[in-house]
Amino acid sequence: MNQDLLTLLPEFNQIQDADLREKILACWTEAIRIGGWQIDDLKDIPFTLLIPNCPVSFVQHVRAVTQTAMAAAKVLKEFYQGHYSLNMDFILAGGLLHDIGKLLEYKKSSGLYEKSASGRLLRHPFSGAGLAMRHGLPDEIVHIIATHAKEGDLGYRTPEAIIIHHADFMNFEPLYQTGK
């Protein structure tokens, strides 16, 4: 399955820390297993249930958020170097894992995607953070997952978490506004 994930999400290959990459892959593998998905399903699952007939898949969204975040981080590093530091592996990890909990939050029933029993109780930032903790990912990455959505609006976010939060909403909001 790891090779399939590396092909589906080539951004994995940009992670410099091999141990971190393996933990992230393990997190994906477990989320797929627990959610009852197959690797090919990832290309069809909508990235949100808030847009009727969402035209963007879960994988497309994860890749777009990851690439948006990396592009923003490169610009920020260039112009603000010395004011704060950014861990690029953590940004990659955050992009790849920010919505991993959606594989537990969603299910397919009678050809339609909907909230699972778990998803009705736990939004994806919670289930995703739990998966990341179970796989021994650093607290900084768990923090990114936990705070990337509205759940993080009232608390502290690291610079990496701020970047993922904005990259996610830059990708969500235009589609949401035009797709309602």
Residue-wise pLDDT for 48-86, tens only, equals 999 999 999 999 999 999 999 999 999 999 999 999 999
Asked whether the predicted pLDDT for residue 180 surpasses 80, the reply is no
Give the CATH number for residue 153: 1.10.3210
Give the list of residues 6+ apart from residue 104 with CB closer than 8 angstroms, or none. Answer: 31, 34, 35, 116, 118, 119, 122, 124, 127, 131
Q: What is the pLDDT of residues 35-52, one digit of tens each?
A: 999 999 999 999 999 999
Q: What token pair was written down for 148?
A: 């990337």
- The tens digit of pLDDT for each residue in 115-141 reads 999 999 999 999 999 999 999 999 999
Q: Name the phi and psi angles at 70, rounded to 5.
A: -65, -40
User: What's the total number of domains in the chain?
Assistant: 1
pLDDT digits (tens, 9 = 90+) for 79-112: 999 999 999 999 999 999 999 999 999 999 999 9
Closest CA to 30 of 58, 5, 65: 5
57 has which bridge partners?
46
pLDDT in tens, 140-161: 999 999 999 999 999 999 999 9
**pTM of the prediction?**
0.97
CA proximity to 1, closest of 24, 18, 19, 26: 26
Residue 105 in tokens = 């939050």
Domain holding 20, by residue range, is 2-179
Asked if 48 and 86 count as a contact pair (C-beta separation under 8 A), the reply is no
